[in-house]
Each structure stands twice: as C-alpha cells, then as structure tokens.
Amino acid sequence: MRTAAATEVRRPSAVRSLTWLSAVSAAATVAVEVLNWWYAPEQGFGLAVRTGWAMLRSLGFLVLIGHVRRGRIVARPFGLILAVTTVFAVGRLVVPRHGVPPAPGAIGFALLTALCAAVVWQLYRSPALAEHLVRHRRRLVVERSGIFWREVAPRRPEASGWLLTSRAAAFTYSPLMLVPALAAVGAVLDGRLVAVPAVLLWLGGGILASYLVLFCTAFLLRGRRWARLLLVAVTVLVLAVDLPLCLWLLGPDGLVRDGGPLVVAAGVALYGVWRADRALRGGAGTA
C-alpha cells in the first residue's frame, strides 16, 4: 500500500527555486530598508512612511510564494507588479536628496534589483512554471450532494494575461496615492496648515481610487469594452490628482520618488489594456 507521501505529486524544480528566490527577495527587501534607514541623513516622518510601505513588500513576496506553490494563474501578473513596484519603492529611498547614496545601500539595492529581475524572468520564461500556473482559486460550492470547498473556474470568459496584468497594476493606484499623502502629513505637522485640505483631498482620492478600480476591473475581466475606457479615465484622473500634489507638497524630490512609481504602474496598466484590445481585434479579424 502506498502512503500519502509516496503518492503526493512532486512540484517542479522551477517552483521550488522560485519559492526560495522569492523568500530571499523578501529578506533582501527588509535588509535594504534597514540599511537605508540607518544611513539616511534625515529620518523624518515622510521617510518613516515610505520605509514602512517598502518593507510591506516583503509580505507581498510571501503572498507570491503561496500563489506559486498552489499553481494559481494570478501569480504571473502579481509577481510582475510586485517586482517592478518594489524596485521603485526601495530605489526612491536609496538616493538621498543631496550627495551620493551610501555604498551599503547602493549594493543592497543592486542585489534586490537583480533578485526581482530573476523572479520576473522565471515567472515568464520558465516552461515548467507555465504548465504549473494554471489553477484558479478555491471557492465554496453548494450542490445537491453537499457543500464543498474546491477549485472552480470563473464563469466569465477566460481573461487574457494582459488584462490580469492591467488589473494587478491598477490595484496599486490606491496605495501609491496614500503613501505620499501620508508622507505629506509631515508638512502639516511642520506648520503648513494651508495644506490640510489638500492632504485630506489626497487621502480621499486614494480611497476613492480603490473603489473605482475594483468596479471597473470586475467588468474588465468580463470583456466589457466600456470598462477598458473607464480604466483609462480612472488612470488619467489618478495621475492628474497625484502628480501635482506630489510636486506642491513634497517638492520635485517627492514628485520623482512618489510620482514615478505611480506613472510606471499606470503605464503598465494602460499597456496591458492596449495589448489585450489589440489581441482581441486581431482574433476578430482572423475569424
């Protein structure tokens, strides 16, 4: 008689290597942020907010490990957005406002960038992972024979990888707005009371963006064309609110540090929508 251990399906070696690579990336994220904080010439409120947000990325890598081990199809777009935004979130803290970055922080950032690039490369270039990442989330299913908790394919048409990437990128709009808004609270604490309405508007816009993105991406994956146009409009609105406030309350340095990651996320989301629309038109033309 075979035991459960003997009959257990062994995961591909690419899954195990990506798991370890993601774990090392999570540890490297924390280590680089500790170095940045230690060598920072100014350890103010804004730096504390940005450092805390960047360190939360280590939890994101743990979530990625869970998706990869379970073979979920969402692991690819999630890993791509996580890697790109992690590089920007950490990189904006490595470079000081004046002078050159400290050598330990620069070396750590280079190592973290290489790790994130390796994660993305393995997610999108490994044939073994392509065959492994095909499963959907488990859901509660009620049938005549009983109630079960099992994997269920979504009822909507199968969404393309580009739409999933656009959704993952759009979900970063809200935190990428809220982090600089919280950092701008430091300006209020420094006596700039005139900035209070702008900071409140910023925080409200970040919260509203999360609901708008949640609404339009739900229909985006169902193939609704108007949802794509709505996502484009939301992206433009988010940039129109966030970038001027970054420049006014955080200065040119804040515009680069906090506005840059949002611009990249917006570019990825719009590019994904464009590629998905192009593929759809190409398929319709072929048919």
Rounded to whole angstroms, how far apart are CA atoms 209 and 212?
A: 5
pTM equals: 0.76
How do residues 141-170 score in pLDDT, each as one tens digit? 556 666 655 556 555 555 567 888 898 889
Q: Which overall architecture, per CATH, does domain 12-153 show?
A: Up-down Bundle (1.20)
The DSSP letter of residue 41 is: S
Q: What is the pLDDT of residue 189?
A: 67
Of the pLDDT bands very low, low, confident and very high (cuts 50, 70, 90), residue 37 is: confident
Rounded to whole angstroms, how far apart are CA atoms 76 and 169?
A: 12
Average pLDDT of the segment spanning 1-24: 71
Q: SS3 breakdown of the chain: % helix, strand, coil, rounded to 5?
A: 75, 5, 20
Q: Boundaries of CATH 1.20.140 in the chain?
A: 12-153
The DSSP letter of residue 145 is: T
